[in-house]
Structure 1
């Protein structure tokens, strides 16, 4: 089989991990979703764990790229954080990376957990840098520690996903985001 089979296997695993978690994602389900046979799967990957790691790394890279597309733009710190918080998301599905923190098999496996930790650390660090820019410009209403405010932004997004999934409505996510944006509103906007 070709690299195309490898790509199909990774993409199928990404989707299944997002929907079912690691335990709920069987090799047979991956093969069926990818339209690939057992031989193809084991030709490209040593097993489910290696394939899951490739899928988690891909999801982590895509999350970073999506965040950077809005965080790396021109504009005020507030505008960039606002763009990040308001960017289009599949709220009811949750975060494909954040959801893995609720998977006991992923959390217990240091190698599987590493791309999740690295991505969330990267996101907090990237946001902390933007918060520092806003503080330096006198943009924010208070003087929070950049790392604390960055953690609050990430927690609002991840917690918003949980609330939305629990209620079956994106309204809870939207309410959390609006509340945080109101707290962060620049002094000149008040």
Structure 2
């Protein structure tokens, strides 16, 4: 792995573990196994490196979400796959946790990839809900944007509740509850897409 990649990966890990303020240039260099000054050789400074790290995390999160949301199955099954996909629940969402970091939120540059990532996932889920409504799988009264916001709120809130309780069980309970609300009515067979 190149030095810039090691710096980015180390910054990603530290941002997830410690937040922006707790991610010092010294800690980045130590974790990356990089020499003093290498950060400034490859990046303008900590904000530039943090932005590269946040962008890479956002790209990976979007790819993982798209992998299940664009996968096979009915709209319900794809939303279910998104909600039930493998996650390190007790560690939290690497993007969602950044919304709790006042330094990230105060910076338009650092906040932008966080906001864009959540918006893109929300838009994708909303489109799937609308597809499900057209197929008769979801009630016509559902609003795709509202359901998409609810799905993201369930995931992000589930992380918070799981971390607070020290158990992923509460995350799983929230997912099951939301899926039961979205499930097609009894006697209505979902149509495959």
What interval of TM-score do these two structures reach, taking the shorter chain for normalisation? over 0.9
**Corresponding position of 2:4:** 6
Q: Is the 8 A contact 1:141 1:185 kept in 2?
A: no
Measured against aligned partners, the alpha-carbon deviations of 1:35-85 in whole angstroms (never above 9, x if no partner) come to: 001221111011110000000000000000000110011211000000000
Alpha-carbon distance between aligned partners in 1 of 2:75 and 2:54, rounded to the nearest angstrom: 30
Task: State the 1:120 CA deviation.
Answer: 0.5
Unaligned runs of 5+ residues in structure 2 are none
Task: State the 1:186 CA deviation.
Answer: 1.3
Alpha-carbon distance between aligned partners in 2 of 1:129 and 1:114, rounded to the nearest angstrom: 22
**Corresponding position of 1:18:** 16
Task: State the 1:141 CA deviation.
Answer: 4.0
| 1:174 and 2:172 matched | yes
Alignment length, in residue pairs?
A: 188
Q: Is the 8 A contact 1:95 1:161 kept in 2?
A: yes
Query: More deviation in 150-159 or 139-148?
Result: 139-148
Give the TM-score, by structure 2 length: 0.95
Measured against aligned partners, the alpha-carbon deviations of 1:78-120 in whole angstroms (never above 9, x if no partner) come to: 0000000000000000000000000000000000000000000
Within the candidate set 134, 140, 146, 1:136 is matched to 134
Structure 1 residues 14-163: aligned runs within 5 Å: 14-141=12-139, 143-163=141-161
Measured against aligned partners, the alpha-carbon deviations of 1:99-150 in whole angstroms (never above 9, x if no partner) come to: 0000000000000000000000001000000000001111024621100000
From the two aligned structures, give the one with the greater helix fraction.
1
What RMSD, in angstroms, separates the aligned Cα atoms of the two structures?
1.3
| Moved >3 Å (runs of 4+) | none
